[in-house]
């Protein structure tokens, strides 16, 4: 069992971990990697970096859009639900719109992506959710995000039992703060709300790691390649945590 000749779909593939995942699987010999998201220019920039990558637009919170994505992509063997969004606010100031948005992108998006992916598997398949350490523990001021990510782990564990007698596995990768565009946005928000410099805000996030650093997107890619490669058949319903010992 190798990545070679497998077809892969990565949501949120235009930047950050998604772009690194797409390139990692393409370089590992995947027959094709289909990436999707809402920012077409970012998707095209990633696709331009390797001939095996194809970009398609998709809103993972919209059922019809996800169904159209799979219709255009063709049958895939590996589905990586990576699309996500972060937000923060004290709980009493959190609006219903913020709550709904966090659940829609981070939980409903995984549900729709996995459901349509599983429906079209022809035998062997891999479902991988890029979740978060917020799937496994709480953090102040991100209750909707943490609730959604905890929901992803519940989905992964439950679905894993449904497919356990098939050559299909369902797992999650749970990184701490990644050195990506999404974290840069979080750093800017922290700076604006607290008056700290950008460097101080970044240091505050790094300090959450016992290794005192942000994690690299290629660490997520390495874990995903492992979950989809030789020797991974018995790993099902699990979370691989990339957090330096935090969780």
Catalytic position from the list 70, 139, 145, 215: 145
**Token digits of residue 136:** 């496994």
Based on DSSP, count helices (H) and strands (E) in the chain, helices before strands: 9, 7
Helix axes 217-227, 16-27, angle to 10 degrees: 50
CA distance 111 to 114: 5
DSSP 130-143: E--GGGTS--TT-H
Instruction: Give burial (CB, 10 Å; 0-12/13-18/19+) of 30.
Output: buried
145 in catalytic set: yes
Active site residues: 145
């Amino acid at each position: 069992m190798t990545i070679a000749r497998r077809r892969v779909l990565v949501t949120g593939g235009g930047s950050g971990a998604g772009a690194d995942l797409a390139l990692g699987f393409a370089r590992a010999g995947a027959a094709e990697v289909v990436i999707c998201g809402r920012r077409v220019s970012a998707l095209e920039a990633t696709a331009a970096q390797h001939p095996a990558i194809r970009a398609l637009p998709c809103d993972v919170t919209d059922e019809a859009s996800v169904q159209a994505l799979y219709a255009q992509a063709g049958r895939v063997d590996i589905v990586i639900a990576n699309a996500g969004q972060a937000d923060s606010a004290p709980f009493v100031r959190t609006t219903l719109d913020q709550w709904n948005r966090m659940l829609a992108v981070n939980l409903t998006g995984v549900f729709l992506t996995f459901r349509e992916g599983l429906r079209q598997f022809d035998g062997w398949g891999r479902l991988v959710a890029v979740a978060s350490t917020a799937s496994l523990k709480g953090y102040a001021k991100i209750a909707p995000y943490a609730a959604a990510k905890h929901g992803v782990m519940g989905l992964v564990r439950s679905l894993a039992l449904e497919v356990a007698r098939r050559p299909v596995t369902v797992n999650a990768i749970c990184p701490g703060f990644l050195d990506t565009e999404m974290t840069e946005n979080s750093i800017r928000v922290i700076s604006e709300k607290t008056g700290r410099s950008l460097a101080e805000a970044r240091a505050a996030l790094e300090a959450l790691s016992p290794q005192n650093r942000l994690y690299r997107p290629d660490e997520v890619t390495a874990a995903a390649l492992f979950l989809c490669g030789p020797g991974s058949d018995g790993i099902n319903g699990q979370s691989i945590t990339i957090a330096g010992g935090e969780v």
